[in-house]
Amino acid sequence: MTEVESVGSLSEFVGREVALSEWLDVPQERIDRFAEATEDRQWIHVDAERAARESPFGGTIAHGFLTLSLLSELMRLAVSVGGVRMGVNYGLNRVRFVSSVPAGARVRGRFTLAALKEIKVGVQATWKVSVEREGGDKPCCVAEWLVRYYV
């Protein structure tokens, strides 16, 4: 866990990798719950037998949007910024789902602070995030994520 003393201290990290999260499990149960919550029940996510038989992945995989939604938790596991009243997901500039996350895999997030901009009540951070799968040869997801920190 990287602990940043304050929002003001974040400027020291611009252009640098700030943190690497712990591994996070992505079991079939999590994929199934996401499918129910989003009503995206495509068979490559929820039908293990058919996915083993017909998909190029050899089994079920996590939704790309599930992988993306894990950014908040991966960030929580990796970085703490002191003196923040509230952090808000402000959006994304770019997202690519480079490789799949098979059911049962573990993922982690690699966070680089690309830019920092002052806003009226805090700062807006642009994080370059790479979600890696344990044993994978390329990232599962790469994103440019905007987070606003209010003080």
How confident is the model at residue 39, as a pLDDT? 98
Segment 131-145 mean pLDDT: 98
Percent of the chain with pLDDT over 70: 100
State the pLDDT confidence band at 19, using cuts at 50, 70 and 90. very high
Q: Tally DSSP H helices, then E strands, for the chain.
A: 5, 8
- pTM, two decimals, is 0.94
List the chain domain ranges: 2-26+62-150
CATH tag, 2-26+62-150: 3.10.129.10
State the pLDDT confidence band at 67, using cuts at 50, 70 and 90. very high
DSSP state of 10: G
How confident is the model at residue 102, as a pLDDT? 98
Condensed to tens digits (0 to 9), the pLDDT of residues 31-65 reads 999 999 999 999 999 999 999 999 999 999 999 99
Segment 106-131 mean pLDDT: 97
Question: Which residues are CB-neighbours of 12 under 8 A, at least 6 positions away?
Answer: none
State the pLDDT confidence band at 135, using cuts at 50, 70 and 90. very high
How confident is the model at residue 115, as a pLDDT? 98
Residue 109 near residue 3, CB atoms below 8 Å: no
Condensed to tens digits (0 to 9), the pLDDT of residues 83-92 reads 999 999 999 9
Mean pLDDT for all residues in the chain: 97
Please tell me the distance from the alpha carbon of residue 105 to that of residue 61, in angstroms, as a whole number.
Answer: 9
